[in-house]
Amino acid sequence: MNKKIKTALISVYYKDHLEEIVRKLNEQQVSIISTGGTKEFIEKLGIQVTAVEEITTYPSILGGRVKTLHPKVFGGILARLDNKQDVKDMEQYGIHSIDLVVVDLYPFEETVASGAGDADIIEKIDIGGISLIRAAAKNYRDVVIIPSKEQYPELLNMLSNQQGETTLEQRRSLALEAFAVTSHYDASIFGYFNRNKEKVAFRQSFDMAKPLRYGENPHQKGTFYGNFEALFEQVQGKEISYNNLLDIEAAVYLIDDFREPTFAILKHNNACGVASRPQLIDAWKAALAGDPVSAYGGILITNVKVDAATAQEIDKLFFEVVIAPAYEPGVLEILQKKKNRIILIRKDVALPQVQFRSMLNGVIEQDRDTRFESKQDMKPVTKRIPVDQEYNDLVFANKVVKHSKSNTIVLARDGQLIASGVGQTSRVDALKQAIIKAHNFGFETKGAVMASDAFFPFADCVEIANEAGIKVVIQPGGSVRDQDSVDYCDKNDMAMVFTGIRHFKH
């Protein structure tokens, strides 16, 4: 059923792009009701506007907290015009119908993000506006609701191309948008009040949605909810896929644990190459040497600006994505030769400290694993104590193992990942896989260090490591059979340290 707009109530925080709407409404002889600053804005345009106080016969009170909360306003919005009793009530109490409501809420999220104090944040909790949106959306059969400035273009289209006439389908669609706005707004307020997790409840809301080509596989649908552009600038490349996003997240979390210039190559969320060097080009070459086969089609990431010499080397490899905080002049021209390459500039934006994922018929949530262990966190448990360079490699290897799929073993030497065994059901198999890979790519395991994401239930892993010439081990400890591993290390002049921290990743 089509309806023509006759009376509009406008109450918005931001006035951007409002002028064109107001002028269109005036051209179509729509009566306009407004409040406070919005009313003043409309008056300055030379357009007639009725103050809401004239409708309610009450002034704006409590410092503007109460302006529109009145039966003559909400009755005009909620009245069902095909309901005889509603029409009778309107006549009895002098209520006039309102068939367009335009609202733009107080910027609560922006105020929180600005670091404002609690009092200022509380004042940015919109009461009247949110009530107007809900009321108009509930009565969408008779009322058009514009719940935010994001819907201004749609309203302008209806005014310009339909002469202010709307269809039931359009009004229902706008009601859907309205409840999306109110639910997101309420979730944000709840998140602020529950920032210390006093209330055990899960509330997350993302307004931005990006349909993906498909999910993990072509037969699965996929959507990314969030603001990817807040974290990265995409310089060029094809659409980012579901699997790209998984790898990008894994890459970012890995690189953030390194302070020195570092390059990492990831495939299926695991590092296949990582190296830290004073010069980036050397870090790249060492990272690629770790597993040049898996690097093909991988995700590349560094924590420093990419220079031309390094870019020339990177350009020799087929890769999906490269991520860096910046690129020196001329570097992008080198990397942009292949148009499908996704080139990202990472912005200096903090990442969330909480992770969640769907699980069965619910959601699980946890704090992100932001911890990594320094030399001071490592407790030697063997007679032999690691020397300084070995400690450096233990710190390096333990960072990589933290970001690898469990069960995992990482072998490293001189700030370079020389091999890893990841995603194995047995830690012994993970170690054997790592040793085989290291030898296949020409690395000598003698002198390497070994890191494990969890404790050794038996001494078999340190035995296998020793046979491969690996004499320094880092693990969390905590097994009832820890002493078996310690005793074996002592008998074979091996050094082992415990961290007391497990780094499972599934």
Q: Which amino acids are annotated catalytic?
A: 138, 268
C-alpha 270/C-alpha 405 separation (Å) is 7
CA 69 to chain CA centroid, Å, is 37
What does the H/E/C string look like for 296-319?
Answer: CCEEEEECCCECHHHHHHHCCCCE
CA gap 141, 228 in Å, rounded? 36
d(CA 374, CA 337): 41
Q: To which H or E segment does residue 52 belong?
A: helix 52-56
The rounded radius of gyration (Å) of the Cα atoms in the chain is 31
Measured torsion, CA atoms of residues 200, 203, 204, 205, in degrees rounded to the nearest 10: -170
Secondary structure string (H, E, C) spanning 237-274: CCCCCHHHHHHHHHHHHHHCCCCCCEEEEEECCEEEEE
Q: Count the neighbouring beta carbons within 10 Å of the beta carbon of residue 446.
A: 10
Contact 406, 505 (CB under 8 A): yes
CB 270 within 8 A of CB 405: yes
Task: Compute how many other C-beta atoms are within 10 angstroms of the C-beta atom of residue 204.
Answer: 11
C-alpha 324/C-alpha 346 separation (Å) is 6
Chain-centroid distance of CA 202 in Å reads: 16
